[in-house]
Amino acid sequence: MKTIETKLAPKFTCRGVSVHYGEFRALHDIDIDIADRSVTALIGPSGCGKSTLLRVFNRMNETIPDARTRGTVLMDGTDIYAPSIDPVLLRTRVGMVFQKPAPFPRSVYDNVAYGPRLHGLAQARGELKRLVEKSLRRAGLWEEVKDRLSLPAPSLSIGQQQRLVLARALAIDPDVILMDEPASSLDPIATARLEALIEELKKRYCIIIVTHSMAQAARISDKTAFLHKGALIEYDQTDRIFTNPSDTRTQDYITGRFG
């Protein structure tokens, strides 16, 4: 079954990726290809290594002192763990929305403008303002905060903060967006809006999303990876995973028998 995205060269190619936290092996020998212009969902029980795998793609695991990553990760055919790659630059191309929203202790506006200011993305007058508005609109937060852009971001509700950090990531216009349970605190309307956004974003970006909602994974993703105890158990087209999984553990997980 050949689909359009498997014909394209993959955005990421992981071979034999393992991550250790000290002595603890959080990810074991992962081989996975992530297609560009598509949504890949990572599912699995809590603690199975979904967030760890997500952080492999933007080298965020390196900020954890005793974390070690092994194996090969290619992005557009380039080894992103090669010594010549600057992780700081990599992260401007691979954006990330964390599991726990952590807005900076600044205003809503300054939070979204943080990345663009850092990288000098908006030079002309008024351009930054437009960029901030555009990012907030895409994240579905604009209507709620347009009159209070100078409000300190930490005083937003958790659901609003989750969309704010999404807007913050969108503002630097990365090629890849990693989302770690971006809808965990969103109401159904905001979730639907987020899913619509993901649908739109995938026309241009590569999106990898961690979710605990089977329904959400089924709705929005093209391919789904099921992780269990640090191993990649099954990785296939989403409809196949949800209708006819080949591993009983996947079957058990998606039907809610464990995890």
Partner 1 sequence: MSDPVPFYMLVIVGALMVGAYRIVYGRAARLVVPNLPGPSAARAQPRHHARLAAALTGLVGVGIYLTGLSLRGPIPSAGGDGLWLMALIVIPALPIALSIANVRPDFAARTHVERMAETGLMLLALVALLTTFGIVASLVFEATLFFRDVSIIEFLFGTQWSPQTPIRAGGTGQSGAFGAVPVFAGTFFITLIAMAVAGPVGLMVAIYLSEYASPRTRAIAKPAIEVLAGIPTVVYGFFALITVGPAIRDAAAWLGADVATQSSLAAGLVMGVMIIPLVSSLSDDVISAVPQSLRDGSTALGATKSETLTRVVFRSALPGIIGAFLLAISRAIGETMIVVMAAGRAANLSANPFDAVTTVTVQIVALLTGDQVFDSPRTLAAFALGLVLFVITLLLNIGALAVVNRYRIRFE
Ligand X SMILES: Nc1ncnc2c1ncn2[C@@H]1O[C@H](COP(=O)(O)OP(=O)(O)OP(=O)(O)O)[C@@H](O)[C@H]1O
Contacts with partner 1, residue ranges (CB under 8 A): 58, 60, 63, 65, 88-89, 91-92, 95-96, 98, 100, 102-106, 114-115, 118-119, 152, 154, 165, 168-169, 172
# residues contacting ligand X (CB under 6 A): 13
In the complex with partner 1, the residue whose CB is nearer, 61 or 224, is 61
259 binds ligand X per the rule CB under 6 A: no
Contacts of 166 (CB under 8 A, 6+ apart): 97, 139, 179, 182, 194
Task: Provide, rounded to whole angstroms, the least separation between the CB of residue 160 and ligand X.
Answer: 21
Site for ligand X in 32-91 (CB under 6 A): 44, 46-52, 64
The site string for Mg ion over 94-133 (x = CB under 5 A, - otherwise) reads: -----x----------------------------------
In Å, how far are 25, 26, 28, 64 from 70, measured between CA atoms? 11, 12, 10, 15
d(CA 99, CA 209): 11
User: Among residues 54 and 254, whose Cβ is nearest to partner 1?
Assistant: 54
Tokens in use for 169?
A: 């990531």
The three-point CA angle 196-198-200 to 5° equals 70
Is 51 an interacting residue with respect to Mg ion (CB under 5 A)?
yes
Neighbours of 9 (CB within 10 A): 12
